């Protein structure tokens, strides 16, 4: 049953959110209710009843991952079409935020899994999901930057102890765009591609072009309302991703060795959580320390790592706490080493 849960929860909770957009009115807030009420409550309840999620899911299928890009594309266009007909600005915005919670919470999580896969077509599916939230550059910086610089000041996605999430999110977003361009500039220079060709082969420019084409498409189909919905859901999705980044390495730092280099990445540089719904709805994202030890491993092979720091709650609860900085510091800072 747990193997089926990995495929059930993302699609079920996303469908509930889309139904809320379909019915309109107060129902448009379904996505917001899911992340701030339903998910944290179910996470605690299911973990208490069925136990935590420490075991692997090796025989679980990849089918739900491969179907998601099509599912999210249909979900996105249908939701934008429906919301663009809404005349109440508050309901329009609420529905758009709900949409961004789905494309960010589940969509980017699946994209993250896919961009680490060995096959080009799998990585391509991940890039497409990221393109639908205007964040395809994340693929470059995350794989080639974050995994190298994690838990150091050089990583925009690693939060320091005491850092305020509202300052962290814009800093992280800017850092991802800057980091991705720097990485791509080096790759293009190494390939000795010069002149106009460097703009063609530079993946950052390719991804920016895809964003421009999507924005133009939404404007053509749904006018300025469509552009507003597309850009706002992108912002919500990206912000939610960076909230998770904030949570995953908060307050953990790698030490500098005598030779001036940082110590290797270890399990002690990540936060894990074994809460049941967190892992079954987010493809074992809570087993984050193991992911940083072996980034190419699929979600089915990830396990809780000895030596990692463990949150006594799941990701959705962590997001709620992080959005209230004094409460976050009161709860989490005492859990940090040497505090």
pLDDT at 60: 76
HSE value, Cβ hemisphere, 13 Å, CA-based, for 233:
33
Q: 160 is in which domain, residue-wise?
A: 2-335
Q: What is the pLDDT along the chain (339 residues), one digit of tens a residue?
A: 566 778 899 999 999 999 999 999 999 999 999 999 999 999 999 999 987 766 555 667 899 999 999 999 999 999 999 999 999 999 999 999 999 999 999 999 999 999 999 999 999 999 999 999 999 999 999 999 999 999 999 999 999 999 999 999 999 999 999 999 999 999 999 998 888 898 899 999 999 999 999 999 999 999 999 999 999 999 999 999 999 999 999 999 999 998 989 999 999 999 999 999 999 999 999 999 999 999 999 999 999 888 999 999 999 999 999 999 999 999 999 999 875
Rg of the chain, C-alpha, whole Å: 20
All residues at 6 or more sequence positions from 66 whose CB lies less than 8 Å from its CB, including other chains: 122, 125
Nearest Cα residue to 315 out of 34, 16, 60 = 34
Residues facing residue 271 across a β-bridge: 309
Q: Round to whole Å and give the CA distance between 104 and 127.
A: 13
- pTM of the model as a whole: 0.95
Q: Round to whole Å and give the CA distance between 112 and 36.
A: 22
Residue 160 CB coordination number (10 Å): 12
* Domain count within the chain: 1
Tokens of 2: 């747990």
Within 9-162, strands assigned E span: none
């Amino acid at each position: 049953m747990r193997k089926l849960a990995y495929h059930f929860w993302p699609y079920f909770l996303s469908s509930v959110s889309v139904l809320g957009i379909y019915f309109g009115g107060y129902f448009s807030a379904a996505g917001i209710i899911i992340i701030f009420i339903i998910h944290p409550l179910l996470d605690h309840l299911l973990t208490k009843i069925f136990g935590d999620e420490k075991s692997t899911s090796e025989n679980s299928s990849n089918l739900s991952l491969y179907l998601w890009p099509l599912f999210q594309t249909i979900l996105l266009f249908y939701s934008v079409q429906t919301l663009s007909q809404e005349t109440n600005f508050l309901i329009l915005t609420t529905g758009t935020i709900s949409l961004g919670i789905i494309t960010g919470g589940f969509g980017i999580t699946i994209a993250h899994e896919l961009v680490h896969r060995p096959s080009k077509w799998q990585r391509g599916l991940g890039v497409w999901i990221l393109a639908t939230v205007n964040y395809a550059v994340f693929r470059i910086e995350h794989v080639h930057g974050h995994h190298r610089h994690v838990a150091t000041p050089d990583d925009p996605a690693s939060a320091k102890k005491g850092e305020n999430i509202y300052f962290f999110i814009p800093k992280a977003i800017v850092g991802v765009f800057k980091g991705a361009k720097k990485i791509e500039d080096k790759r293009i220079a190494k390939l000795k591609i010069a002149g106009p060709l460097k703009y063609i082969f530079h993946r950052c420019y390719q991804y920016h072009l895809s964003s421009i084409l999507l924005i133009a498409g939404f404007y053509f189909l749904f006018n300025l309302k469509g552009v507003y919905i597309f850009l706002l859901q992108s912002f919500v999705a990206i912000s939610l991703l960076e909230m998770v980044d904030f949570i995953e390495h908060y307050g953990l730092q790698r030490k500098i060795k005598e030779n001036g280099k940082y110590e290797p990445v270890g399990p002690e540089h990540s936060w894990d959580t074994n809460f049941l719904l967190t892992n079954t709805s987010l493809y074992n994202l809570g087993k984050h320390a193991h992911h940083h030890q072996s980034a190419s491993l699929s979600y089915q092979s990830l396990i809780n790592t000895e030596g990692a720091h463990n949150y006594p709650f799941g990701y959705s609860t962590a997001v709620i706490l992080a959005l209230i900085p004094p409460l976050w510091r009161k709860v989490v800072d005492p859990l940090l080493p040497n505090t």
